[in-house]
Amino acid sequence: MLTRVLLAAALLTATASAATKLDFNRDIRPILSDNCFACHGFDAKKRKADLRLDVPEVAFKAIEGVFPIKPGSPEASSIIQRILTKDEDELMPPPESHKHITPAQAEILQRWIKEGAEYKKHWAFEAPVKTTPPPVKGLVRNGIDAFIQSRLSEEKLSPQPEASKETLIRRVTLDLTGLPPTLAEIDAFLADSAPDAYEKVVARLLKSERYGEHMGRFWLDAARYADTHGLHLDNERSMWPYRDWVVRAFNANLPYDQFTIWQLAGDLLPNATVEQQIASGFNRCN
C-alpha cells in the first residue's frame, strides 16, 4: 500500500496546479541555470554586464535605473523584457548562444517574480531541518504516512486498500533483492501471524547477500562501471575488485560519508587500508 501511495504523492507533486506557489530550487533555478548562469552567474571571468542572476542582492539591484528583477513586478523586470522582446539585438539568451527560453518557462518566471521572486540557497548547502508530521485522520503507521495522508486529503484522494500478504512479500523481495520470493519464503510469511512478520522479512532481506548485489548494481550503473575499457580495442581490465567492494559496502551498511570519501580519495587517506584503496577504483570508471 505504501509504495502505491508514495507513487501517487510523487505524481501529485510533479503535476502541481498553477495555484501552488513556485519554488526557486525546483521551478526557477533549472531555467536560469540552463539559460542564464553561463553569462550571469558566479564565474566572474565569464560574467557579462556585471550582472548576476544567481544571487538576489545583485539581481534585485537597479543598473542605470533598470531592475533586472523587480519582485512583484514582472513587467518592470528587464529580464522578462529581454526574454519576450522580438528584437534579436536585445533578446536574451542571445540567438548565438543557441539557448532558448520557452513560452511556458517565460510564464513561470513571470509568475515567480509576481509572487515576490523568492530565492533559496541550493538544497545541498542547507542543513536538514526535522519537520513534525502533520496531524491527520486515517491509518498512520509512521511519520511518512502522515505526510502522504495529509497531501492526499488536500487533493481529496483516498489511499489504496492495504495490499495482501502475497503482494507485500513479492513487492519487498523484488525491491530489495531484485528477485522474486521462493515458494518456501511465501509460505513462511503467510503462516507467520506475528505483528512484526513483515519487519522480520525486511530484516532477513537486508541481511541477504542478494541485497548488496541488487542495490550495488544501481550505483555501478551511475559510476559507469565496466569490465572493459570501452574504447579502441575495448580490451579487458581488472575492475571486478571495485565491483565486489561496492556490493560488500551495501551489505555492510557502510556509512554514506565513508562510502563517498573512500571512492573519491581512499588511496590518499592516511594509512589507507586495502578496502579503501580498492574503493578508489571508482576513479577508473570515469
Q: How confident is the model at residue 19 (pLDDT cuts 50, 70, 90)?
A: low
184 within some domain:
yes
Number of domains in the chain: 3
CA distance 240 to 18: 50
Same domain, 28 and 115: yes
129 within some domain:
no
CA distance 133 to 149: 10
Cell of 97: 548562444
Dump pLDDT digits (tens) for 47-85.
Answer: 999 999 999 999 999 999 999 999 999 999 999 999 999
143 within some domain:
no
Amino acid at 242: Y
**Cβ-based burial of 148 (10 A; exposed 0-12, middle 13-18, buried ≥19):** buried
Residue 5 has pLDDT above 60, yes or no: no
* Single residue among 119, 140, 173 that ends a domain in this structure: 119
281 within some domain:
yes
Helix (H), strand (E), coil (C) string for the chain = CHHHHHHHHHHHHHCCCCCCCCCHHHHHHHHHHHHCHHHHCCCCCCCCCCCCCCCHHHHCCCECCEECCCCCCHHHEHHHHHHHCCCCCCCCCCHHHCCCCCHHHHHHHHHHHHCCCCCCCCHHHCCCCCCCCCCCCCCCCCHHHHHHHHHHHHCCCCCCCCCCHHHHHHHHHHHHHCCCCCHHHHHHHHHCCCCCHHHHHHHHHHHCHHHHHHHHHHHHHHCCCCCECCCCCCCECCCHHHHHHHHHHHHCCCCHHHHHHHHHHHHHCCCCCHHHHHHHHHHHHC
267 within some domain:
yes
Dump pLDDT digits (tens) for 226-246.
Answer: 988 877 777 888 999 999 999
Does pTM top 0.85 for this prediction? no
7 within some domain:
no
242 within some domain:
yes
86 within some domain:
yes
Residue 46 is part of which domain span? 24-119
Same domain, 183 and 258: no
Dump pLDDT digits (tens) for 83-139.
Answer: 999 999 999 999 999 999 999 999 999 999 999 999 998 888 888 888 899 999 877
CA distance 280 to 286: 11
CA distance 273 to 32: 44
